[in-house]
A and B are shown apart, each in its own frame.
Chain A
Amino acid sequence: MDLKFNRVYPVILFTILIISLILSLAGIIYNFIDPGYSMYIMNLGVLVLYIAPFASISSIFIKGVYNRDYTLIGLSIILLIIIGLNMVQLGLPSL
């Protein structure tokens, strides 16, 4: 499972980074056409980047479930709760 995880996890992270990168680039290019709409696209790029840590923690959670590693499951849930509560307190993201 560890070998499989070491292959799958980087792919997930890379995909999120690439999507964020493409949206950021599109936002910059669109800045010349419609600056208002470009802000919307760049904002989306930033929000996609914020998904990366959640994807990391969720991947580790799944790894914990698969390996029946309850420490890993517990830790990832605690971390998700800490980040989630802080985000709710600050206000959830919106476009």
Chain B
Amino acid sequence: MLSEIIGVFIVIFSSAVLGSMIGVGGGFLIVPLLTLGLGIPIHNAIALSLLSIIAVASSATITYASSGYIDYKLGLILETTTVLGAFTGARICILLSPSILMITFGVLLIYVGYRMIKKIEFKEAKLRELPLNRLLAGIISSFFAGLSSGLLGIGGGILKVPIMVLILGMPTRVAIGTSEFMISITSASGSYVYYKAGILNTALAGSAIIGGFLGAQLGSRLGIKIRVELIRMIFGFIMLIFSMSMILRGLGIWI
């Protein structure tokens, strides 16, 4: 039991450090590492990942809120559908078999890995006023960001930030701050479904919370001092390796 507690702490702490350094939650690293590395069943790994993301995102929200980089009104508008997506996603996840979840996660990791290696700069859609059709598009796509969060145990920032920048025309920094604020609510909603279903391993929850919080604090400080381009590239390649491993494991091929 002690080895599991230490293992979960190391995985979540290091993922949160790396994730916060390059501005993502770390869920993309946590789930594969817990599943492939520590042999924790994928449903439990997703539940632990979401729990640690609450701590990571809340910790980041503290920083962004003090700097005034959160658009609360737009965040709450988008969060209404994101929360519904997270509740739905988590409910679907419980019904899915581990192999289907692994393949789905693996496919999503290919996209994340590609985005990490080939850094895509989003051109802000500078809008004087937000047209209703763009707002509706943002609200609908936020549902799918929430769905992926609840289903796969990720924060969903990788989807939320592009939605806010490209569709809603928010400045990137405000989009990141608002996304972190939203993630803290989304991940708690998704995590609660796992908690009530008895999938969240309470014995390991403590190390997930501590690892997530401390990792996020250290990572956000290191990210300012260190050039993160190389780390981003390495992170991308690791994602691609993980994606292959997850897909193969999902297909029943063990390597």
B1 lies within 8 A of chain A by Cβ: yes
B167 lies within 8 A of chain A by Cβ: no
Collect the chain A residues with CB atoms within 8 Å of residue B207's CB. 24, 28
| With known contacts A6-B65, A10-B65, A72-B72, A90–B196 Cβ distance under 8 A | yes
Collect the chain B residues with CB atoms within 8 Å of residue A2's CB. 68
A82 vs B83: C-alpha distance when bound (angstroms): 8
The answer to whether B202 and A43 have CB atoms under 8 Å apart is yes
A69 vs B72: C-alpha distance when bound (angstroms): 12
B66 lies within 8 A of chain A by Cβ: yes
- The 6 A-B pairs of least Cβ separation, nearest first, read A24-B206, A75-B76, A53-B185, A10-B62, A53-B188, A90-B196
CB-based nearest A residue for B206: A24
Contact-residue size bin, chain B (C-beta under 8 Å from the other chain): 35 or more
A26-40 Cβ-contact flags toward B at 8 Å (1 or 0): 011001000100110
Main secondary structure of the interface of B (DSSP, over half): helix
Main secondary structure of the interface of A (DSSP, over half): helix
| CB within 8 Å of B: which A7-34 residues | 7, 9-10, 13-14, 16-17, 20-21, 23-25, 27-28, 31
Collect the chain A residues with CB atoms within 8 Å of residue B203's CB. 31, 38-39, 42
Collect the chain A residues with CB atoms within 8 Å of residue B62's CB. 10, 13-14, 17
Further contacts, 6 of them, CB under 8 A, given A10-B62, A17-B58, A75-B73: A10-B63, A24-B206, A28-B5, A56-B61, A75-B77, A79-B76
The answer to whether B206 and A45 have CB atoms under 8 Å apart is yes
B189 lies within 8 A of chain A by Cβ: yes
B54 lies within 8 A of chain A by Cβ: yes
CB-based nearest A residue for B181: A56
CB-based nearest A residue for B54: A49
A36 to chain B, nearest CB (A): 11
The answer to whether B188 and A52 have CB atoms under 8 Å apart is yes
The answer to whether B189 and A86 have CB atoms under 8 Å apart is yes
Collect the chain B residues with CB atoms within 8 Å of residue A90's CB. 192-193, 196
